[in-house]
Amino acid sequence: MSSEMLIVTNGTKESFSAVEQGAWLAATLGMRVTLLGINEKLDPAAIDSVHPLEEVFERAVGVFNAQRVTYQLEVRNGSAEKIVPQEARKNDTLVVLGPLGRPPFQRLVAGRSIRHFIEEIEQPLLYVPEAKMPVKRILISVGGLGYDVNAEHIAMQISMKAKAEIVLLHVVPPIDLNYPTAEAISRNWQNLVETDTPIGRSLRQSLDIARTSGVTASVKVRQGNVIEEILAETQAGNYDLLCMGSSYSVHSLRQMYSANVTAEIMERMHHPVMTARFRNEEGSWKK
């Protein structure tokens, strides 16, 4: 994973959770931080007044110094939805952002910003509605389609540094296609990790990697609607961080007709959520 972190704020109080969580994670993983302030409201008449970014930067510097994090401060003028993807593309970086405090009417008309960021940002993205520190329990959503490989890798690194427990979650959805592998998974979902199915083999491999790395890991399997079951497990399990892959990891018509699970989860979760696209052998991110 990159040693660079890009934390985003537009000066709203809602966005400061990203600063707190990002500073903790940067200290844990030894990352350098760029705090990017987005000046979205250019008002020449207010030139002599204190800008909201100034207050956030002052608070953030205190947090960074307390965590002993190396940091730099930058400001850009314009829309966060346009600027953040542009800045993220400049480096192989981890992007950390929180809610941007959009008015309800703007969210109704334009939609939630997080969906735009998931689509446009190719780098790993940590969304922080509320900060939860320290991270002691990590839930990794394992879908079985290969989307989650990089997200799982990042979660393992966090776990090793933070001494956090990992739970690998797979949700078995209702069968909509009649083929042997799906039927085998559906029949044996309660002992899925012991089956000779692709997801069973993947879960065993992940457990072996975690335990070899000294990480406490276990498997949790649920059956039902994927989004609802992930949310239910997150609430029931007292987790501090959820890590997921992204449907944008591969070229697929699946994006056109199925729910974007990651976006749906991020819109409804109050816990930090990390998402990362699959990265191929050449080192590029799949779109």
Q: What is the DSSP string of the chain?
A: --SEEEEEE-S-GGGHHHHHHHHHHHHHHT-EEEEEEEE----GGGTTSPPHHHHHHHHHHHHHHHHT--EEEEEEES-HHHHHHHHHTTSSEEEEE------HHHHHHH--HHHHHHHH--S-EEE-SS---S--EEEEE--SSSTTHHHHHHHHHHHHHHT-EEEEEEEEPPP-S--HHHHHHHHTGGGGGGSSSHHHHHHHHHHHHHHHTT--EEEEEEES-HHHHHHHHHHHHT-SEEEE--GGGS--THHHHS--HHHHHHHH-SS-EEE---B-TTSPBP-
Q: Which CATH superfamily is domain 4-127 in?
A: HUPs (3.40.50.620)
Of the listed ranges 1-10, 57-66, 77-86, 254-263, the one predicted with least confidence: 254-263
Can you give the pLDDT at residue 195? 81
Residue with the bigger pLDDT between 51 and 137: it is 137
Can you give the pLDDT at residue 174? 77
Can you give the pLDDT at residue 196? 80
Question: Is residue 287 predicted with pLDDT exceeding 60?
Answer: no
Can you give the pLDDT at residue 106? 57
Q: Which amino acid is at 195?
A: T
Question: Is residue 249 predicted with pLDDT exceeding 70?
Answer: no
Task: Round to whole Å and give the CA distance between 1 and 201.
Answer: 25
SS3 284: coil
Can you give the pLDDT at residue 251? 47
Can you give the pLDDT at residue 202? 85
Q: At the topology level of CATH, where does 137-275 sit?
A: Rossmann fold (3.40.50)
Mean pLDDT, residues 105-112 taken together: 54
200-241 pLDDT, tens per residue?
888 888 899 998 989 999 999 998 999 999 999 999 999 999
Can you give the pLDDT at residue 43? 58
4-127 and 137-275 have identical folds: yes
Share of residues in the chain with pLDDT > 90 (%): 55
Q: Where are the domains of the chain?
A: 4-127, 137-275
Can you give the pLDDT at residue 284? 45
DSSP 173: P
Query: Residue 156 — pLDDT band, cuts 50, 70, 90?
Result: very high
Neighbour tally for 157: CB within 10 Å: 14
Residue with the bigger pLDDT between 256 and 267: it is 267
Given 3-state DSSP classes, what are the helix, strand and coil percentages for the chain, each rounded to the nearest 5?
45, 20, 35
Q: How far does CA 35 lie from the centroid of its chain?
A: 18
157-171 pLDDT, tens per residue?
999 999 999 999 999
Mean pLDDT, residues 176-202 taken together: 71
Which residues are 96's β-sheet partners?
A: 7, 126
60-94 pLDDT, tens per residue?
999 999 999 999 999 999 999 999 999 999 888 99
Residue in the block written with tokens 């069968």: 175
Of the listed ranges 91-95, 137-141, 233-237, 256-260, the one predicted with least confidence: 256-260
Let me know if 236 is exposed, middle or buried by CB neighbors in 10 A (0-12, 13-18, 19+).
exposed
Contact 230, 245 (CB under 8 A): no
Closest CA to 127 of 143, 151, 106: 151
Residue 174's alpha-carbon distances to 145, 155, 187, 273, in angstroms, are 16, 28, 11, 25
Task: Round to whole Å and give the CA distance between 214 and 64.
Answer: 29
